[in-house]
Amino acid sequence: MPITCIRNAAWIVAWDPAAGRHAYLRDADLVFEGGRISFIGRLYPGAFDTEIPGHDLLVMPGLVDIHSHPSTEPFFRGIREEHGLPTMFMTGLYERGFAFRPDAVGRVAGKTTAYCEMLLTGITSVADLSGIDEGWVDLAARSGLRVFLAPSYASAKWHLTNNWQLQYNWDEPAGRNGFDAALQVIDAAQADPSGRLSGIISPAQIDTCTEDLLRDSHDAAVARNLPFTTHCAKSVNEFNEMTNRHGITPVQWARDIGILGRNTILGHAIFIDEHSWLHWHTREDLGILAATDTSIAHCPSPFARYGQTLEDFGRYTRRGVNIGMGTDVAPHNLIEEMRLAAALARVAAEDITATSLTDVFYAATAGGARALGRTDIGRLEPGAKADLVLVDLKNPWMMPARDPLRSLVYTAADRAIHKVFIDGRLVVDGGKVLTLDHAAALEALTEAQARMIATVPGYDWAQRSADQLTPLSLPMVKGLN
């Protein structure tokens, strides 16, 4: 296998196994052989096939995105950024999901676009919570990403007949058929010769799946040694629905039916019983999450756009809850999500010491890997996968790089990412994706969004147009003198 040596890297974000955390290493070499790291330290003495000069580089682990919706979120550029309903506790999720429906051809363009965004922003592993589209396994393999395919299915679909009341259309056989189809896709992913594809069992939402479907899905995940995920405690609407059904919070009900545990990732888990918007009478949910070793996927951007936030990141971690990060939004940029997560945590806690970049970066790397049951990604140490991000310290947005992670997250973001390796393979070079046609995907996405917008009145409960649902940010004029 070819051996690559990154020689004399200015900074390496190396894993300190004794402390169980990341640490900086200065002026050191990193060597990978094939798809795994074989050496990190000073003055590598062995032979190699390729040398990369590292004196102007920060070398860090690839980011781990544990919650994304690539087949739909790219379609909502110019649509969802300021769309929300005060009558539904600010969320626009249900109205948008009901009225804006990309077609099958478009969803492939969405996935391709999102995969390119991920690569360009340093994401090397991703949980893709999409519906099943033709060619998905092949596209994931061609992307070069380490993809955990999580085909979503449900026993019910959300339904609206007004702008304040969430309703459900139940079809339990459809949920069962979706479960069976998801297992087939996961089997195909795990059999892919790339070796980079795996699966996650993903009943869509805790309020749209029957108890039996959730239990059976979790049992299948345990039997197959796979992660299990579902959206839970993501909105006030869901919280109220579940407390009306069961008299307890969504997290408490998830515990009672036996779907929490070390292999479980709850999408969002924002609206727990301590959240200030809810005024619920218990304070048990964080303790339940910690005691069951359940992880959560934190995706700050979509909720911040609704005026909502986790209360707060530091409170969860201090109680022992493992947090990973996700990109439940366009752009699929985990660096920007880290920046926002750190800022919102301080706002929510009213305390600048509540959360540090150390905590948030851990969540976006090793915390996400832990949630996925992996110890060979999200960290740089001998034996780990060669999933690396090389950051250009001479990029103007990185200078001066007194603390390069802070410069990256708070200032430069993806503008400074120079190269990305996944499984030892170069997939981004000089800010260009090498595995997929980004430009063609964007053109296809643009055409597909236009098709989607044209169909909106046929799906909206009040037959409104897209411009009525989400007006442009500025008015249109016919001409100016």
Could you tell me which residues are beta bridge partners of residue 11? Answer: 26, 58
The answer to whether residue 472 sits within a structural domain is no
pLDDT of residue 18: 96
**Do 270 and 155 fall into the same domain?**
yes
**Do 100 and 245 fall into the same domain?**
yes
The answer to whether residue 303 sits within a structural domain is yes
Domain end among 401, 417, 433: 433
CATH at 393: 2.30.40.10
**Do 307 and 409 fall into the same domain?**
no
Which of 385, 386, 367 has its CA nearest to residue 376?
A: 385
Name the domain count of the chain.
Answer: 2
The answer to whether residue 452 sits within a structural domain is no
**Do 228 and 213 fall into the same domain?**
yes
Give the SS3 label for residue 315: helix
The answer to whether residue 470 sits within a structural domain is no
CATH at 72: 3.20.20.140
**Do 42 and 55 fall into the same domain?**
yes
8 Å CB contact between 259 and 215: yes
**Do 400 and 346 fall into the same domain?**
no
pLDDT of residue 481: 64
**Do 222 and 164 fall into the same domain?**
yes
**Do 312 and 391 fall into the same domain?**
no
8 Å CB contact between 298 and 326: yes
**Do 334 and 200 fall into the same domain?**
yes
Q: Count of H helices and E strands in the chain?
A: 16, 21
Q: CA–CA separation, 305 vs 330, rounded Å? A: 12
The answer to whether residue 471 sits within a structural domain is no
Which of 422, 325, 327 has its CA nearest to residue 61?
A: 422
8 Å CB contact between 203 and 216: no
Strand 417-422 to 425-429 pairing: antiparallel
pTM over 0.95: yes
The answer to whether residue 465 sits within a structural domain is no
The answer to whether residue 8 sits within a structural domain is yes
8 Å CB contact between 14 and 25: yes
The answer to whether residue 461 sits within a structural domain is no
**Do 354 and 208 fall into the same domain?**
yes
**Do 162 and 56 fall into the same domain?**
no
Under DSSP, the state recorded for 74 is G
| Other residues' Cβ atoms within 10 Å of the Cβ of residue 370 | 21
pLDDT of residue 170: 98
Residue type, 37: I
HSE, side-chain direction, 13 A CA sphere, residue 84: 14
Residue type, 266: L
Render each residue's pLDDT in the chain as its tens digit; 481 residues: 899 999 999 999 999 999 999 999 999 999 999 999 999 999 999 999 999 999 999 999 999 999 999 999 999 999 999 999 999 999 999 999 989 999 999 999 999 999 999 999 999 999 999 999 999 999 999 999 999 999 999 999 999 999 999 999 999 999 999 999 999 999 999 999 999 999 999 999 999 999 999 999 999 999 999 999 999 999 999 999 999 999 999 999 999 999 999 999 999 999 999 999 999 999 999 999 999 999 999 999 999 999 999 999 999 999 999 999 999 999 999 999 999 999 999 999 999 999 999 999 999 999 999 999 999 999 999 999 999 999 999 999 999 999 999 999 999 999 999 999 999 999 999 999 999 999 999 999 999 999 999 999 999 999 999 999 999 999 998 877 6
Q: CA–CA separation, 458 vs 261, rounded Å? A: 42
**Do 215 and 101 fall into the same domain?**
yes
Cα torsion 282, 362, 301, 151: sign: negative
Question: What is the domain extent for residue 334?
Answer: 63-371
